[in-house]
Structure 1
Amino acid sequence: MQVFKSPKESLGDLGALAAAKLIAAATDVALVVDTQGVIRDVAFNKDELALELDGQGRWLGSRLMDIVTADTQAKIRELLLDATVRDVPTWRQVNHPSPGGEDVPVLYSAISLGRDDRLLVVGRDLRQLAMMQQRLINAQQSMERDYIRLRHAETRYRLLFQVSSEAVMIVDANSELIVDANPATLALFETPAAQTLNSAVAAYFDDAHQQAVLNTLADVRSTGRDGRARVRLANSGRECELSASLFRQENASLFLMRLTSQSAIPETGAAKSVALLLKYFEVAADAMVITHYDGRVVRANLAFLEMTQLGNAEQARGESLDRWLGRTGVDLSVALANLRQSGAIKLFATVLRGEYGASAEVEVSAVALNDVEDKPCFGFAIRNVEKRLPTAPSSKRELPRSVAQLTELIGRVPLRDLVRETTDVIEKLSIEAALELTGDNRASAADMLGLSRQSLYVKLRRYGLAEHAPEGEAADE
């Protein structure tokens, strides 16, 4: 804390009345308390705040600890201890119960008045900041929900495109080059993907039918209506029914082309694909497990057997995954509850235990499945993350950037530290939002947040936003 260098010269003999006016004007609420925490005098800057907090005049003579919520009483003890014993003024946020139902958040700091039996406690009303924080959280959650919905939709359509037995291509409407093609198209053309992509679509048809393909695409481009043509492939001479539709994406015109063979298209290897998937399941580097709805193991791959120190798959079949995964009776129950509710979990951090005492930190991703009898079951992918290298060195004070990262800390750090981290995240987001809303005008941002410019500069440096607070301007304050 920086104080005046020559207070007697600059302020003169400041009387008690003048000091009281100064304190009341500079803060939203000011309290004079004794060393036992009993309130001896009260001053409010706003009548509306005084009516809401002390409308019945019960604060005088009450203990400061008794007029705050039970969960913030410990902060009052620390506040008074800092001012009396440690002589290090600090700011602590506490909540006052309100007759309106919602608690009133106030940021307090306490300093000694130079007398052994009196302390000055000054506070700032944080309701406007809390409302802004809530709006920011709601906006962020809404954006995350929209992003997840878009990703799910993209995944579904991409999967449909890939597994369709009908040959489907995406062709650029201007250059008539193939932009994308599904496996059925590659099987029909008998060419690899690297050779097919960015090649002229007409080249895959018989010379006598290439002009018919180009005419069909020209008609669709000019009229916007779907077009059809009977054409013959160049490689096999097989006759196909070609369908073309025009659509726009990101200011570009594209054709969606479908080919239906008049004769049966050769098998694209469905059975072979299933065999490859089963082989991948068995030899995958990550542990993979399929369980019943209650978490009992149906099938496990070799990586899982190795990590759990089991000799064969029969030792795992029918056993609860809880026997090896996470804290017994806790982690698997949490994972199953989320799977039953949302159908998927991602990067769930826990521990995998072996039969002979070995353990490893793992990340678990899982999805809900339905078997051939439409019975629900779950598929787990478990990855060992003990040897994972960090992407970049991070300091101990680096803040989590999302709700998901804060969730990962649950069970690893005390609730008190988790709440403190959450408060820091929200405070940083609020400052960034205020700077963005005011066009990086620091004075307006400070007014919007209810802070002095000097306090705003301190917080900018604390959160690594020092470029918003030049040293020269901070000194001018």
Structure 2
Amino acid sequence: MDASTTGFKPQNRAAPLTALADLPFAAMVQGLLAMADIALLIDSGGVILDLALGFAEMAPLPVTAWPGRPWRDTVVADNRGKIDAMLAGDPEPARWRLVNHSLDDGELPIRYRLLPAGPGHWLAIGQDQRHLASQQQRLIAAQQAMERDTLQLRQAEARYRLLFAATSEAVLIVDPAEGTVLDANPAALRLIGSGGAVGLGLATLVHPDSRATVGRLLAQAVDQASPVRVRLPGGDNCLLSVATVQQDWGQVLLARLRVQPGDRQPAQRRLDDLLERMPDAFVLTDADLRILACNQAFIDLLHKPRGAVIRTPLNAHFGQPGMDVALLAAELAGDGRVQRFVTTVRRGGDAGECAVSVAAVSARDGAVMRHGFSLQAVSASVPPLRQTPRSVEQLTSLVGHMALKDIVRESTDLIERLCIEAALQQTGDNRASAAEMLGLSRQSLYAKLHRHHLGNLDHSDE
């Protein structure tokens, strides 16, 4: 059989095979099986009349029982629409469709192309896709394995971060080439009194007198140099040890700082013990008003664990952080001290707010600015005399610490609160008279009392 007798042109695969309609089915598919693994002869009703297999591996499959069955019944239920579309649609231009045949022990994926095979007949040539399905399964398995490895890596990293943060020993991860800090745990930040150490040189985190010692230690780190005594910016002496740690992506230096109990002077130890045991709350902050240390009285006042307080901004614990902290910062910047500043602190749990009187002072520790705050709870029976900005000078001192709109908004809130307090005081806590005095309805007054947390609203005279 050649091209002159059949009219078939192999180089034009898109040409219709109508010239093969008079040939027997076996002869018609003989050339097509070279590119197909299976060929089906289908009548106009979609019933398989005959089939031919292109290679021996298809023979053990139960495909030989398909003749006499509707083609759509041999595939899985959700693929029958594809069979119906191929039989009902225009086969020109024909395209490949992937369907899954239903077998007793699984599925058989075959990609079909439907061609006309004479009046009322179709020829479906198919290519076995099991090797592609196997590759896809291996790819999916590899992706799942990668996802499991990634999850295990993230869990290990989370455990490392948890241990790194929870350990009481001051630990820093240092780049051996640059000498810069890659990571530092909270214990290290508390010890060196720095708001952030990442990206800074390790030598810059100690006292200037000890920087040359740190430089020499980093240069000898690969030789497991012995610990050296260095001085911290706050004046404490400690032992600094550096060790090389091998990572998958290179080497890092593990730097550890250990304060020796005998390094602190007796007077300094007594002062620390005194501050810890004093009845008034005491807080030490850096120049940005971020808490560096506090005593037990401050922890008891906030009803929060010490770990949730250290390294947090001081304004995170004030009742009205914007105005109060701006006033404190302005007065500390101007006079270096604050006395009898009355505000409120937010306590943890359901404890609500507590009125406190604040005294503060600023001092330099070498080149580092520190702020100390003493907070004393105000008795509920004594009406708080809130330190308010009553002069133009006090209001203008907030410029540079707060945006204009924030100064106006919080000043308005403060004036509103003071006016309501004054009206309640003048009327003997008669809210109806206070509302009339302020030109408000009783509902508006109650809403403002709720907003400013004023009055005993559980026993209102509504």
- TM-score of the aligned structures, taking structure 1 as reference length: 0.47
Max Rg structure: 2
